[in-house]
Amino acid sequence: MSKTLDLIRARPHVLAVDDEREDGSSIIVTLKEGFDYADDPGCGTKGVDTVRRAEEATRADNIIPSQGGRNAKAVR
């Protein structure tokens, strides 16, 4: 198990990290309700190819409050 993936799982805005690379897929990162990816507003799930990319994608500066606004929370 990757220590970096464990650190990503511990981020307050991350709901789940599923490493599906052994099955020929990606690392799937799902954000908690109230959060979206800044580069894809309205989207809270992303597939990435590497642990490094998962870490970068889940940094606080790459996360925004959900566009729905109802359950939006500030990322600190």
Residue 74, pLDDT score: 54
Neighbours of 66 (CB within 10 A): 20
Question: Has residue 15 got a pLDDT over 80?
Answer: yes
User: What is this structure's pTM?
Assistant: 0.85
Are 55 and 49 in contact by the 8 Å Cβ rule? The answer is: no
Question: Has residue 71 got a pLDDT over 70?
Answer: no
Residue 70, pLDDT score: 41
Are 12 and 39 in contact by the 8 Å Cβ rule? The answer is: no
Residue 76, pLDDT score: 52
